[in-house]
Structure 1
Amino acid sequence: MHMKTYLNQAAKAASDRALPVFRTAADFERWRKDRQRRFHEMLGIDVYLAEERTPMHVRITGSVDCGTHRIDKLHYQSLPGLYVAANLYIPAALTAPAPGVLYLCGHHQTQKVNYQEHARRFAQEGFVTLVLDTIQLGEVQGVHHGTYSRGNFDWVSRGYTPAAAEVWNAIRGLDLLGELDEVDERRLGVTGHSGGGSISWWTACADDRVKAMASSSGTGDLASHIRERTLDYHCDCNFPNNADGWSSAESYALAAPRPVLIVAPDRDRVFRIDAVRQVYEKLKELYVNLGAGDKIDLLAFREQHMYTPASRKRIFSWFLTHLAGRPTTTDEAADFDGVKLPEEQLLVFKGQPPADDRSTTVQNWLIRLPEPTDIRSADQLAAEKTRLLVGVRKECFGAFPEQPLPLAVELEQEYWNGDSFSRKFSFASEGEWRLNGELRGRANDSIRPAAVCLRQSSHRKEEEPFRSLAGLKGEWIKARIDVRGTGDTAWGTELNWHIRRAAALIGQTVAAMRVWDALRGLEAVRLMPEVDRDRILLAGAGEMAVVALLAVLLDGSVSTLVLEDMPSSFTRADDPERLGEGYEVVNMLRHADLPQLAAMLWPTTIIVTGKRWEGYEWTERAYARLGEPGRIQFRTDLNVWSAGAE
């Protein structure tokens, strides 16, 4: 099987899942609230929602009187140091609190300046409107293009995407609107275009205060993004962390049954109209089931990735009808009046962002990572390991098959050279993946310990797959497992970027898939009659060293682990010009980094070869405190290691 085919199929299977049918509105609401809590967790904002909100320190730096409305130029801090530059449009001569609209900008360099006419029109219709700059563009510029262009696949291990920061900024924007005397906090809406259309969805899904939403050119389907590779054109901010592998419709359902308008041109490069229609039909069926069929609509029209006068008027009429309580048709709604203010009149910071701005580093701190537990006893380690395994199985390896296939080991070839033999076999991993392995040894009636290595994707010569075990002394059976992306299932390096981003989109990573393959391969090796299943050594090098470590942690019965050229942390970014297959694992840093995971292996013997590992002082201290039988040994190679030394 090919990895691209697998990802296409996995995404399609998710997108094909039907949404539940609910007997009552109360049943749906219970389902929705449970899923929403999980959505908050996946975003990583659950901790902030559970705490008292930090002061926003709203500061108005200037105002512009436009006759029909006033524009306040302001900034606020959604978290301490996380500055948001915004323009607030307040209609003139309000006699009662008005509905509020949060406008979220798409990917345009000048942000709120470029989209000012939308806020102007809303204000002229009586909506108090707050338009926000994103972190990536506008006046305070941070980073959205982590995995897109900077090699920041460590974001996947953090469970971070810029969608989390943008949704949090939007939630605090709703806080700001709701606290204004001019705003009826019971009538808040959100809208935006492109990336702003995507964040409009995620904000509505995350915050029930949103009573109406319109997404322009921001509605997608994961299967389409992966199958047609529209993902390749998308900024990271379009996609929240999706550790549970939900389809787009399953996520969007959190906005139901509130009024939702989907605006979608049919010549959009990044959101295919057929996929948008499929998502809409699923959501429409849910809305009808909930007795709210008139609260969702799709406006599809012939154009590229952009607004048109008709699409804008449809959005204005949607909010007038569903948020302001003034039923208005598209034909009755007004469009822009052609007035645009120059950029200098709308800038908040005027080229001088605050000195304590933390927007440029939000990717490093928004997701709170745990402090390592100080391990001082075997009982303490056992309790910590049990807790850790529960968490990582749910949060990091949730895509593992719930019901594994029969292993179905098959002999592919066996040949002899004197008293030595080589046995090539295959085994079922998951789905249509059938992987290869090889066993090498000498004819002997007694069972022997097995040294198993994970094949490297770069190996080409016949003998190289066993390089990690070269020079191993004693009566070892040697085995090799060809995890996905190695041997017959290898793919070209030009696919690495797409595969790694696509896998994360559906809650998976190449490394996690390989961990599963390694576990299945170990099962296959243990079935071999010559193998002592209780004495297994597993070896991996580079990216495969991480896979080997995680497989040993989950397996629980491997006696020795050999790590060659072991990476130091999941926090490392990649060289974007030379991407390998990667060793990121979804959400892993929310539980532990590599040194803490390595310590959890005690009393497994760890042999470090190649370049000395760096940053593992914590692991070494834990092993030293716990003592025998756990050991960490440093060797240039395995030439002096034997089965008897185990």
Structure 2
Amino acid sequence: MRIFLVAATLLSSASLSFAQPAAPPKANRYPRGEAMSEAYFRNQVKQIEDTCLTDLTTKDAWEKKRPELRRQFLDMMGLWPLPPRTDLKAVVTGKVEGAGFTVKKVQFQSRPGLYVTGNLYLPASSSTKSGKIPAILYVCGHGNVVENGVSYGSKVFYQYHPAWFAAHGYACLILDTLELAELPGDHHGTYRRGWWWWQTRGYTPGGVELWNAMRAIDYLETRPEVDATRIGVTGRSGGGATSWWILAADERPRAFVPVAGIADLRAHLNEAPSPKFPTGVIGGHCDCMYMVNTYRWDFPLVAALAAPRPLLLGNSDLDDIFPVGGYRRIADKVRRVYALYGAEEKFQLLETKGPHKDTPELRAGINQWMNRWLKNDTSTKVEDDLPPKFAPPQLKVFTRLPEDAVNATIHETFVPAAATLEIPKSDAVAKEWWAHRRPQLLDALTTSAFAGWPKAAPALTAKNAADVTHDGVRLRAIDFTSETGIDLRLFVLTAPGADAPVKVILSVLDDRGWEMWCRDLGPEFADALQLDAKPKRDAAKFEQNRAVMRAEKLAFAAVAPRGIGPTKWADAGSQADTLARRRFALVGQTLDGQRVWDVRRAVTALRTATDLRTTPLTLHGERDAAGVALYAALYEPGVAALDLWELPTSHRDGPIFLNVAKVLDVPQAVALVAPRPVTIHTKLKSDNATWAWPLRLQSATGNSSLQVRAEGE
């Protein structure tokens, strides 16, 4: 049987999308930056797309890759190494009788305190005497049922699926999701709440959904009725996504039908299937839909890890959050993997007519596929004969919520942050220990936090774009290419006629810093600064800068990394800003991480100025930009010193780099710069305690490069 259906859409029950659909964004106030951003993501997606499953040769070659690919996938889900399989402490809290089946109300702990609620549907005739039966794990989408303020979970909304399976001879365990359950957690850390530290931790709620599902399979294997060699997995919408995670991570299930749960990177980040999502469907999906894409995968690679097990990809052709092109391109690539095994019939596309709905055609396709591959039944005609629904209270698992539940805060602990390194008490031992540990940390940062940097830097193409002198101050603008699609401008201030500078201070600007830089210079330099409006000069600051440049023989330089100043694409905290930050993570980057790359390239561009080619360079930054400057210095040995103001004390606050908190935190990064001088300016003397760790290491290793100054006292 080959399934490739284009069926008529009939009336179907309502369904919910992953997240509240994003409203069409207002016209962007920053068209220049927006155009640059869109071109950048098109280029990034193409780079990833062009290398996804394009090197298939033989089955043996593919098999050799699979273990490492599975490890990478688990790592991107926050599950490498796999956590211990602790006692499930499974409890059946009650049961209810249906038409030809029984429902057991089940709860278990996938890890201590992380409660999973579900219903186990069993045929009325099932018993160990009659032989073991196949089982289905049904993972729910976003369809919670709430009545009178009581959450009954998504298992109530999707109950007709397990009811059908139980009525037709299967055991079926249906799970609530983390967010839409009797004990709710959170799926919306970056989508809605601005919890960008999830990216620093390498955390995705999809990892929790995956782990809960893997432990549910553990539970099914303990059931005396279940044949553990005949387990299938299915789900739609958010459950479709979780089905994909399971097939990539767990080799035990035999057959899969993910429905409306996958699209490729191009659909998520570039294509516009509807006016609601003009730059890709990521705007319509919450965080459970995504792995932390450290290794820069496209989604066909996830699907390919199912091969050669039977896999039916289900979707409707008018689904605006899983568009046709996004799933058909995946199917085209995955077919080639199944062909390596001579198993083409085991991968099929079930495409029905209609929108993002749970239609009878999709349900029939699921059931027919499971009958074939779990029962070896290709003759029974599948009917959409749904039994009567239970009332929500009948399916509720808990009569009283457990007090030790961690569901609401699991994002705090699911992916642990790196423990603070303990400095040996002996100075001699500490010095040797740090000499060994330092390169390890740098290597971990490179491969985990900054793996999305270009493998080879493009041509710098530095050129003088402007050279303006007014009132004893010369401003030069140097245009350069940071990476493909990202063209930036570096600014250099000197005092013409003065002696050659003995030091150049390069400021890494944030939004506030950019405003001050422009205001300090005034309207005469507006064109070189690429300003539409001409700012009024801060005369006192202008005179101060001019006097300092002459008296101390300094040059001042500044760079506004991407998304700031001339290339600004959105206001901080806006919907467009949130969307951009989420898009970066889906190509294995963060906005701040790529800004570090921009600063590195600005350092190189600065050296194209003949009078500054060998001048000692100090990097300066404030707030998050201080952190960006700090990390740029780690990779640019030509930076002689750092001057950092209000440097965040933890990456939980910023800057945001992918996975960085799994390696170290800001105080340890400060220590990595030694022995080059670092000055940290804090607001209060009491803030100095934050930097006790690098100061202690400095004392142990015998240098005095770090100074912490309280500027507020």
TM-score scaled by structure 2?
Answer: 0.83
Q: Percent identity at matched positions?
A: 31
Contact 1:453/1:479, CA 8 A, preserved across alignment: yes
Instruction: Quickly say closer, same or farther: Cα 1:36–1:590, change in 2 above 3 A.
Output: same
Q: 1:457 aligns with which of 496, 511, 527?
A: 511
Look up the match of 1:342. 391
Look up the match of 2:48. 14
In structure 1, how many angstroms separate the alpha carbons of the residues matched to 2:587 and 2:372?
Answer: 36
Contact 1:381/1:600, CA 8 A, preserved across alignment: no
Q: 1:29 aligns with which of 41, 63, 74?
A: 63
Q: 1:483 aligns with which of 550, 558, 561?
A: 561
- More divergent stretch after superposition (468-477 vs 118-127): 468-477
Question: Aligned ranges for residues 23-102 of structure 1 at < 5 Å?
Answer: 23-49=57-83, 51=84, 53-66=85-98, 68-94=100-126, 95-102=130-137
Letter in 2 for 1:136: E
In structure 2, how many angstroms separate the alpha carbons of the residues matched to 1:307 and 1:364?
Answer: 34
Contact 1:320/1:328, CA 8 A, preserved across alignment: no
Look up the match of 1:393. 446
Is 2:649 the counterpart of 1:568? Answer: yes
Question: Aligned ranges for residues 290-309 of structure 1 at < 5 Å?
Answer: 290-309=341-360
Q: 1:253 aligns with which of 276, 295, 304?
A: 304
User: For each residue in 1:496-525, what CA deviation from the matched residue of structure 2 results, as whole angstroms up to 9, or x when unmatched?
Assistant: 111001111111111011101111111122
Contact 1:606/1:632, CA 8 A, preserved across alignment: yes
In structure 2, how many angstroms separate the alpha carbons of the residues matched to 1:610 and 1:433?
Answer: 33
Letter in 2 for 1:81: G
Residue 433 of structure 1, CA deviation: 1.8
Is 2:704 the counterpart of 1:629? Answer: yes
Look up the match of 2:265. 222
Residue 461 of structure 1, CA deviation: 6.3
Residue 418 of structure 1, CA deviation: 7.3
Is 2:456 the counterpart of 1:403? Answer: yes
Q: 1:585 aligns with which of 654, 657, 666?
A: 657
Secondary structure at the aligned position of 2:156 is classed as: coil
Contact 2:72/2:295, CA 8 A, preserved across alignment: no
Residue 19 of structure 1, CA deviation: 1.1
Is 2:516 the counterpart of 1:435? Answer: no
Instruction: Quickly say closer, same or farther: Cα 1:447–1:564, change in 2 above 3 A.
Output: closer
Letter in 1 for 2:488: L
Residue 69 of structure 1, CA deviation: 2.2
Is 2:158 the counterpart of 1:109? Answer: no
Q: 2:602 aligns with which of 487, 511, 521?
A: 521
Is 2:174 the counterpart of 1:142? Answer: no
In structure 1, how many angstroms separate the alpha carbons of the residues matched to 2:256 and 2:598?
Answer: 43
Q: 2:679 aligns with which of 576, 585, 607?
A: 607
Q: 1:359 aligns with which of 384, 403, 407?
A: 407
Look up the match of 1:577. none
Secondary structure at the aligned position of 1:300 is classed as: strand
Contact 2:141/2:237, CA 8 A, preserved across alignment: yes
Look up the match of 2:20. none
Residue 414 of structure 1, CA deviation: 2.2
Contact 2:137/2:174, CA 8 A, preserved across alignment: yes
Instruction: Quickly say closer, same or farther: Cα 1:395–1:236, change in 2 above 3 A.
Output: same
Residue 444 of structure 1, CA deviation: 5.6
Contact 1:449/1:532, CA 8 A, preserved across alignment: no
In structure 2, how many angstroms separate the alpha carbons of the residues matched to 1:40 and 1:559?
Answer: 40
Residue 316 of structure 1, CA deviation: 0.2
Which runs of 5 or more residues in structure 2 are unaligned? 1-34, 146-153, 273-279, 425-429, 522-540
- More divergent stretch after superposition (224-233 vs 374-383): 374-383
In structure 2, how many angstroms separate the alpha carbons of the residues matched to 1:335 and 1:396?
Answer: 49
Contact 1:411/1:426, CA 8 A, preserved across alignment: yes
- More divergent stretch after superposition (607-616 vs 547-556): 607-616
In structure 2, how many angstroms separate the alpha carbons of the residues matched to 1:284 and 1:521?
Answer: 45
In structure 1, how many angstroms separate the alpha carbons of the residues matched to 2:628 and 2:38?
Answer: 21
In structure 2, how many angstroms separate the alpha carbons of the residues matched to 1:636 and 1:528?
Answer: 34
Contact 2:317/2:352, CA 8 A, preserved across alignment: yes
In structure 1, how many angstroms separate the alpha carbons of the residues matched to 2:201 and 2:465?
Answer: 41
Contact 2:257/2:312, CA 8 A, preserved across alignment: yes
Contact 1:44/1:164, CA 8 A, preserved across alignment: yes
User: For each residue in 1:322-359, what CA deviation from the matched residue of structure 2 results, as whole angstroms up to 9, or x when unmatched?
Assistant: 12221247xx1122333111111111103x22110011
User: For each residue in 1:565-616, what CA deviation from the matched residue of structure 2 results, as whole angstroms up to 9, or x when unmatched?
Assistant: 22222223xxxxxxxxx73111111101112212222223222236345733
Letter in 2 for 1:287: Y
Letter in 1 for 2:362: S
TM-score scaled by structure 1?
Answer: 0.91
Is 2:353 the counterpart of 1:275? Answer: no
In structure 2, how many angstroms separate the alpha carbons of the residues matched to 1:144 and 1:42?
Answer: 16
Secondary structure at the aligned position of 2:233 is classed as: strand
Contact 2:52/2:298, CA 8 A, preserved across alignment: no
- More divergent stretch after superposition (89-98 vs 438-447): 438-447
Letter in 1 for 2:165: F
Secondary structure at the aligned position of 2:122 is classed as: strand
Contact 2:450/2:593, CA 8 A, preserved across alignment: yes
Residue 486 of structure 1, CA deviation: 2.2
User: For each residue in 1:609-644, what CA deviation from the matched residue of structure 2 results, as whole angstroms up to 9, or x when unmatched?
Assistant: 36345733323333344343312131639xxxxxxx
Residue 446 of structure 1, CA deviation: 4.9
User: For each residue in 1:398-417, what CA deviation from the matched residue of structure 2 results, as whole angstroms up to 9, or x when unmatched?
Assistant: 11111111222212222345
Letter in 1 for 2:596: V
Question: Aligned ranges for residues 153-232 of structure 1 at < 5 Å?
Answer: 153-227=196-270, 228=272, 229-232=280-283
Contact 1:453/1:539, CA 8 A, preserved across alignment: yes
In structure 2, how many angstroms separate the alpha carbons of the residues matched to 1:314 and 1:419?
Answer: 77
- More divergent stretch after superposition (227-236 vs 435-444): 435-444
Look up the match of 1:421. 474
Contact 2:185/2:407, CA 8 A, preserved across alignment: yes
Look up the match of 1:373. 421
In structure 1, how many angstroms separate the alpha carbons of the residues matched to 2:600 and 2:614?
Answer: 13
In structure 1, how many angstroms separate the alpha carbons of the residues matched to 2:651 and 2:682?
Answer: 19
Is 2:618 the counterpart of 1:537? Answer: yes
Secondary structure at the aligned position of 1:147 is classed as: coil
Contact 2:164/2:387, CA 8 A, preserved across alignment: no
Q: 1:551 aligns with which of 626, 629, 632?
A: 632
Is 2:315 the counterpart of 1:264? Answer: yes
Contact 2:457/2:483, CA 8 A, preserved across alignment: yes
Secondary structure at the aligned position of 2:305 is classed as: helix
Contact 1:141/1:360, CA 8 A, preserved across alignment: yes
Letter in 1 for 2:258: S
Look up the match of 1:620. 695
- More divergent stretch after superposition (166-175 vs 240-249): 240-249
Which runs of 5 or more residues in structure 1 are unaligned? 573-581, 638-646
Contact 1:15/1:248, CA 8 A, preserved across alignment: no
Contact 1:456/1:465, CA 8 A, preserved across alignment: no
Instruction: Quickly say closer, same or farther: Cα 1:18–1:37, change in 2 above 3 A.
Output: closer
Instruction: Quickly say closer, same or farther: Cα 1:587–1:275, change in 2 above 3 A.
Output: same
In structure 1, how many angstroms separate the alpha carbons of the residues matched to 2:42 and 2:356?
Answer: 24
Secondary structure at the aligned position of 1:47 is classed as: coil
Instruction: Quickly say closer, same or farther: Cα 1:194–1:449, change in 2 above 3 A.
Output: same
Secondary structure at the aligned position of 2:382 is classed as: coil
Residue 365 of structure 1, CA deviation: 0.4
Instruction: Quickly say closer, same or farther: Cα 1:186–1:452, change in 2 above 3 A.
Output: same
Residue 124 of structure 1, CA deviation: 1.7
User: For each residue in 1:513-559, what CA deviation from the matched residue of structure 2 results, as whole angstroms up to 9, or x when unmatched?
Assistant: 11011111111223433236472210111221121111112223423
Contact 1:607/1:635, CA 8 A, preserved across alignment: no
